Chains A and B, each alone.
Chain A
Amino acid sequence: MHTLSWAAWVTLVMSVALSTSNPLYLVVVLLCVCLVAALAPRTAQAVAGFRALALLGVGLLVISTGIAVVNGSYGEHELFTVPGPEVPDWLGGLSLGGPVAAEGLVAAVLRSLAILCVFLAFAVFNGAVSPSRILRSAPAALFHAGLVVTVGLALLPASVDDVRRIREMRALRGARTGVRDLPALLVPAVIGGLERSMRLAEAMEARGYAAAPATGRWPRLMGALSAPLFLAAAWVWFYYERYRAFAAVAALVGVVALVAWALLAARGRSTTRLRPEPLALSDRAGIALSIALTALTVVGKAAGWLDLSYNPFAGLEWPGFSPGGAAIALACAWPALLLLTAPAPGTEGDTEPLVPTPAVEA
């Protein structure tokens, strides 16, 4: 699958999961993401392991539910009461303990479920797309972002490794690891990480990865213009309902200015690709589907269509269900179709098996 397809899919999962609070749809999205996760390829160079990210997501779910319990919650169906101290008023309405209602608990679980979906989708993305592929697919106008991302991605695993090595060195010097050791671990790790990223940035510059010859005044002006245009459009849209047409025009002009800036900035920096990654028909279809459904969910959420919203505080009724909403949730599994029918990237075109050998001597 193409990098762009993965990006479109993550956007789709994110928008659906964050737009709906309907537990039926959320469960469907979660299952779809799990299905894709099971089928997706995993490169050796992922920033962090899929398992680690998935565990982190589940951990967040447990923690946020736990916080909801400790914080107490309001509702008709009281389940149990958590003993807690009285918190004085001047602490700004913070409460610890108190009655826990089913409604509050359900709301907390739904919120965390949505976050878990997004987290898992990013974990899949992280495993399926290698950092260097993202860098190459980045538009030329985003040169600085690409540099920062590459350096950052190289830095993270190296820093984890550094912390491990510094811990070992501390042990070799006779230290028993404890909380008081934290500065001794972190100070050298941060310094080492900064030095390492400087070296990589320097090496990239020496290889000619640098900004375009300075873009002209007009393109830069256009790029700068888009932000105030968007702000003005949003302002007018929400506060002056009579002039919404103007807001739409302003937003459109902003988009045009942004696109023009990106194109002009890219023109000064013509790059080529050794093996261009063609966007297959199936990829194009997937991207189009994702964009359409993303738009539909965002609009549907605002307009209250498709039973996307569910309010547990309205008496804990069984959530509504519409075939359209369920179809959108189910569509989050579209990469699974592609992955089942096509061989995964990385296996095609390689003449030799890519067997990673752990660095024994390092």
Chain B
Amino acid sequence: MSYSYPGGAAPALCDVDLDLQEGALTLLAGPSAGGKSTLLRLFNGLVPQFHGGRLAGSIEVAGLDPARTPARRMAAIAGMVFQEPEAQAIAETAEDEVAFGMEQAGVPPFEMHRRLDALFDLLGIGPLRHRRLSTLSGGERQRTALASVLALEPRLLLLDEPTSQLDSEGAEAVIAALTGLRDRGLAVLVAEHRLARLLPVADSVLAVEAGQVRALTPLAAAASLDAAPPVCHLGRLLGLDPVPVAVDEARRALAGREIPLRRPVPSPCTVGAPLLEACGLSVSYGAITALGGVDLTVREGEAVALVGANGSGKSTLFRAVAGLVSPSRGAVRLAGRPAASRVQDRTAVAGLVPQDPALALYRDTVRDEVAETRKLRHMEHASGAQLARWGLEALSARNPRDLSVGQQQRVAVAAMLAHEPRLWLMDEPTRGADHLARQWLATTVRQHVHAGGAAVVATHDFETAARFATRVIGLDQGRVVFDLPAARAFAADGPCATQIARLVPGALTMEDLS
């Protein structure tokens, strides 16, 4: 089948042929804006019933045509979980949220109670049953969303990047729930960018790019996809057959093999004068301590990866440094001087890219958007070279709102940092980013640091962080729990072990191998 969005020039999906089986977990992989979300929405009729557009070809889900079956009927066959837990909550408490779909479907109360008991048990969220949704963590909310979809007992489960907003623990819990459901006979279809956890458990892979869909086995995907996790790239480099998809598998295949490291291992940058010094920084929101006495020094030439679960205080640390919240105790020094009181003056030295920076874009062209920041800072207009630095020269005349999510994100980062601050503070720039965007981020941060700048990047993605970080700081409940050089933090016995480090002693990423 083929599909075009209303007003879309190119078709979003082209000549798709596929067949999904019950009891199988299918992974949708591919760059953002490649058609993954559209393909998912075909199966429950949101495309074209909710979104409109033109559809050609035929589709059948459990004997029904989703393009013509009422949404209410489709909901009982194909359940869908969306990317952001916040954007799909309707009720107030977890129990009401899960019951909502059943109430709409007219399920009798005794049956509702039976299914609620079973689901809360199955997904391991029993203790949360009467909690308010707003008090749950991202992983807990996402599992509640999963329960609310499963309550209608669908035969097909569709998930649109369900773990992209979650920390590792939350993501693990959601994926464990998915494999459990697959084993109970559901057909599960997951679109995701970070394949490291999903590829080993997937039964098949659909590679979606520019509207084209290719069906692959997990092994073929590991051997061919650029977005495959580092362990696959290692397998390909060494010519292993089959290419391993998980670390344990690779370890067995590599037993006794000598893997040459790149010599010399790239030396860490020379570290210069301190750009950021935080001393005993504490922040409280009401009775809750978000940051409890953080000491931190970041010097020129350092790229710091800031890691920690959701709610550990990463965003608060950035906000306190940028002056968006005033700390209850402690002081901040920027570039060797006590930090100014105003946000505008602080961010002249320490530029902050908050979460979802694309929200702030409002000019008509990419060039204007970058120039806007420089104008606000009374600097001369952005030259072509400055746009080139962000990889935006080809997009300079485009409207930011017409770009893909990944490109938008890049424009937003460029806009927030266009005044060339020496210290970059980036709050989860890898969230929801595809492998190209992550690659771009690692390269850009590394260039900045090599040029004598410094960066602090909060992230859950250790593999990407290992490609640029020189140092890793772990936060937990508002306190620094470790502060290690990258070589130790990402090592096999470190707190943020990468796949390569677990397989090849002395290496952290593919770039360390020759």
Q: How far is the CA of A32 from the CA of B498 in the complex (A)?
A: 66
* B72 x A210 contact (CB < 8 A): yes
* A352 x B130 contact (CB < 8 A): yes
Any B CB within 8 A of the CB of A341: no
**Contact surface of B with A, Cβ cutoff 8 Å:** 44, 46, 49-50, 70-72, 74-76, 79-80, 82, 84, 87-88, 90-92, 95-96, 99-109, 112-113, 116, 130-132, 134-135, 148-149, 152, 285-286, 288, 290, 310-316, 322, 324, 343-344, 347-348, 351-352, 354, 356-357, 359-362, 372-373, 376-377, 401, 415-416, 418-419
Q: Which residues from B are CB-within-8-Å of A273? A: 103, 109
* B87 x A361 contact (CB < 8 A): no
How many residues on A have C-beta within 8 angstroms of the other chain's C-beta atoms? Answer: 58
* B376 x A174 contact (CB < 8 A): yes
Q: Which residues from B are CB-within-8-Å of A276? A: 109
Q: How far is the CA of A184 from the CA of B360 in the complex (A)?
A: 8
Known: A169-B360, A172-B416, A205-B71. A272 touches B109 (CB 8 A): yes
Known: A203-B88, A357-B288, A360-B311. A351 touches B105 (CB 8 A): no
Q: How far is the CA of A167 from the CA of B487 in the complex (A)?
A: 39
* B343 x A188 contact (CB < 8 A): no
Q: How far is the CA of A358 from the CA of B312 in the complex (A)?
A: 13
The winner among B103, B112, B418 for most chain A CB atoms within 10 A is B103
Given contacts A203-B88, A360-B290, A360-B313, 15 further A-B contacts (CB under 8 A): A169-B359, A169-B416, A171-B344, A174-B348, A188-B362, A192-B359, A200-B90, A203-B80, A205-B71, A207-B101, A209-B100, A210-B71, A276-B109, A357-B288, A361-B311
Q: Which residues from A are CB-within-8-Å of B70? A: 210, 213
Among the listed B44, B80, B105, B109, which residue makes an inter-chain contact with A274, where contact means beta carbons less than 8 Å apart? B109
* A354 x B100 contact (CB < 8 A): no
Give min CB distance, A218 to chain B, whole Å: 21
Q: Which residues from B are CB-within-8-Å of A351? A: 130
* A203 x B359 contact (CB < 8 A): no
Any B CB within 8 A of the CB of A208: yes
Q: Which residues from B are CB-within-8-Å of A271? A: 103-106
* A172 x B82 contact (CB < 8 A): no
Q: How far is the CA of A44 from the CA of B104 in the complex (A)?
A: 25
Give min CB distance, B166 to chain A, whole Å: 12
Q: How far is the CA of A213 from the CA of B426 in the complex (A)?
A: 49
Q: How far is the CA of A293 from the CA of B352 in the complex (A)?
A: 59
- Which B residue's beta carbon lies closest to that of A199? B87
* A150 x B132 contact (CB < 8 A): no
Q: How far is the CA of A205 from the CA of B78 in the complex (A)?
A: 12
* A272 x B348 contact (CB < 8 A): no
* B108 x A272 contact (CB < 8 A): yes
Some 7 contacts from A to B, beta carbons below 8 A apart, are A173-B347, A199-B88, A206-B149, A207-B100, A208-B76, A273-B103, A361-B312
Q: Which residues from A are CB-within-8-Å of B106? A: 270-272
Contact string, A151-175, partner B, CB cutoff 8 A, digits 1/0?
A: 0000000000010011011111111
Known: A174-B376, A272-B107, A360-B311. A130 touches B130 (CB 8 A): no
Q: How far is the CA of A331 from the CA of B220 in the complex (A)?
A: 76
Any B CB within 8 A of the CB of A191: yes
- Which A residue's beta carbon lies closest to that of B356? A165
- Interchain pairs with CB closer than 8 A, number: 184
**Contact surface of A with B, Cβ cutoff 8 Å:** 43-45, 130, 132, 135-136, 150, 162, 165-166, 168-176, 183-184, 187-188, 191-192, 196, 199-210, 213, 270-274, 276, 350-352, 354-362
Among the listed A45, A165, A170, A208, which residue makes an inter-chain contact with B105, where contact means beta carbons less than 8 Å apart? A208
- Which A residue's beta carbon lies closest to that of B133? A45
Q: Which residues from A are CB-within-8-Å of B356? A: 165
Give min CB distance, B161 to chain A, whole Å: 13
* A202 x B90 contact (CB < 8 A): no
Q: How far is the CA of A270 from the CA of B105 in the complex (A)?
A: 7
Known: A173-B376, A272-B112, A356-B134. A205 touches B82 (CB 8 A): no
- Which A residue's beta carbon lies closest to that of B415? A173
* A166 x B288 contact (CB < 8 A): no
* A200 x B401 contact (CB < 8 A): no
Give min CB distance, A136 to chain B, whole Å: 7
Q: How far is the CA of A176 from the CA of B53 in the complex (A)?
A: 43
Q: How far is the CA of A187 from the CA of B360 in the complex (A)?
A: 9
Among the listed B92, B313, B354, B377, which residue makes an inter-chain contact with A132, where contact means beta carbons less than 8 Å apart? B92
Q: How far is the CA of A234 from the CA of B110 in the complex (A)?
A: 48
Q: How far is the CA of A166 from the CA of B362 in the complex (A)?
A: 10
Q: How far is the CA of A351 from the CA of B481 in the complex (A)?
A: 35
Q: Which residues from B are CB-within-8-Å of A355? A: 135
- Which A residue's beta carbon lies closest to that of B427? A361
Q: Which residues from B are CB-within-8-Å of A169? A: 354, 357, 359-360, 416
Known: A176-B344, A274-B112, A361-B311. A206 touches B71 (CB 8 A): yes
Q: How far is the CA of A47 from the CA of B71 in the complex (A)?
A: 29
Give min CB distance, A195 to chain B, whole Å: 9
The winner among B74, B135, B311 for most chain A CB atoms within 10 A is B135
- Which B residue's beta carbon lies closest to that of A185? B362
